[in-house]
Amino acid sequence: MAKYLLEHDRPNCIGCGACAAVCPKFWEMNDDGKSDIKGGKPRKDEWQELEIDEKDFETNREAAESCPVNVIHIKNKETGEKII
The CATH number assigned to the domain holding 24 equals 3.30.70.20
Name the residue range of residue 10's domain: 4-76
DSSP β-bridge partners for residue 35? 29
What's the pTM value of the predicted model, to 2 decimals?
0.95
Please tell me what DSSP assigns to residue 44. T
Structurally, the chain folds into a number of domains equal to 1
- Predicted confidence (pLDDT) per residue in 12-67, tens digit: 999 999 999 999 999 999 999 999 999 999 999 999 999 999 999 999 999 999 99
Return the higher-pLDDT residue of 1 and 23: 23
E strands present in 3-79: 4-8, 27-29, 35-37, 41-42, 48-52, 72-76
In a domain, residue 83? The reply is no
In a domain, residue 52? The reply is yes
Task: Report pLDDT for 2.
Answer: 83
Burial 4-21 (b: 16+ CB within 10 A, else e): bbbbbbbeebeebebbbe
Task: Report pLDDT for 58.
Answer: 97
